[in-house]
A and B are shown apart, each in its own frame.
Chain A
């Protein structure tokens, strides 16, 4: 079985630009969560998708948006990038909250 794959691994963007990060969930997992991890901090919950619908959201502004596709892969979109958006973005997939999570290796975004 494949794990969770995120792309790209690293990305540099300019303030004000838009970015799309991608995540392929583990086979059989129908739930995908996205987290933002600033340097030296624990990951913070952005949102979660279950069967193509957003079913949970953390304290992030609307310029953070997402999609989940029929094959349960997912995208995280961030508009109007700010310097503080520089972080490691982690994707995690699960079958349900009782089954545990599989994490990707993350996308390191740098906004300059």
Chain B
């Protein structure tokens, strides 16, 4: 079993839909990261959180430490949101342990 599990693996949505991506982890963490990766490969950090909820524009990230679960929500989705969204947690060596990612495609 992977230490970081994401669901769904693939997600197709219509423009304007509300989107939720889930992440569960099995290790103790200092922080959880949500990242966005575009087809070219570059990764952009969206959120780093250790408790509660954070919001940036149309993106919202929540975490439940007791349940070891986090969600990334996108409100009013847009085709430009199409990307791979990756959940990662802080490892014991100061590294990140990544999930496999959720490929999101938003259709106009």
Q: Interface of A with B (CB < 8 Å)? A: 31, 33, 35, 37, 40-45, 48, 50, 55-58, 88, 90, 92, 96-98, 100-106, 108
The answer to whether A42 and B30 touch across the interface, beta carbons within 8 angstroms, is no
A57, A88, A97, A101: the one within 8 Å of B30 (CB) = A97
The answer to whether B43 and A103 touch across the interface, beta carbons within 8 angstroms, is yes
* CA of A101 to CA of B36, assembled, Å: 13
Least Cβ–Cβ distance between A57 and chain B, in angstroms: 7
Look across to chain A and name the residue whose beta carbon is closest to the beta carbon of B35: A103
Residues of B within 8 A of A50 (CB): 94
Residues of B within 8 A of A106 (CB): 41-43
Least Cβ–Cβ distance between A92 and chain B, in angstroms: 8
The answer to whether B96 and A90 touch across the interface, beta carbons within 8 angstroms, is no
* CA of A98 to CA of B30, assembled, Å: 8
* CA of A59 to CA of B96, assembled, Å: 14
Contacting A at CB under 8 A, from B86-108, are 86, 88, 90-91, 93-101
The answer to whether B41 and A56 touch across the interface, beta carbons within 8 angstroms, is no
Residues of B within 8 A of A41 (CB): 100
* CA of A108 to CA of B96, assembled, Å: 20
Residues of A within 8 A of B99 (CB): 42
The answer to whether B44 and A48 touch across the interface, beta carbons within 8 angstroms, is no
Task: Return 6 A-B CB contacts under 8 Å, by A number.
Answer: A33-B94, A42-B99, A45-B95, A92-B96, A97-B31, A101-B96
The answer to whether B98 and A55 touch across the interface, beta carbons within 8 angstroms, is no
The answer to whether A48 and B93 touch across the interface, beta carbons within 8 angstroms, is yes
Least Cβ–Cβ distance between A4 and chain B, in angstroms: 9
User: A56 with B94: in contact, given A41-B100, A42-B86, A42-B100 (CB under 8 Å)?
Assistant: yes
Look across to chain A and name the residue whose beta carbon is closest to the beta carbon of B9: A40
User: A97 with B44: in contact, given A42-B86, A42-B99, A42-B100 (CB under 8 Å)?
Assistant: no
The answer to whether B94 and A105 touch across the interface, beta carbons within 8 angstroms, is no
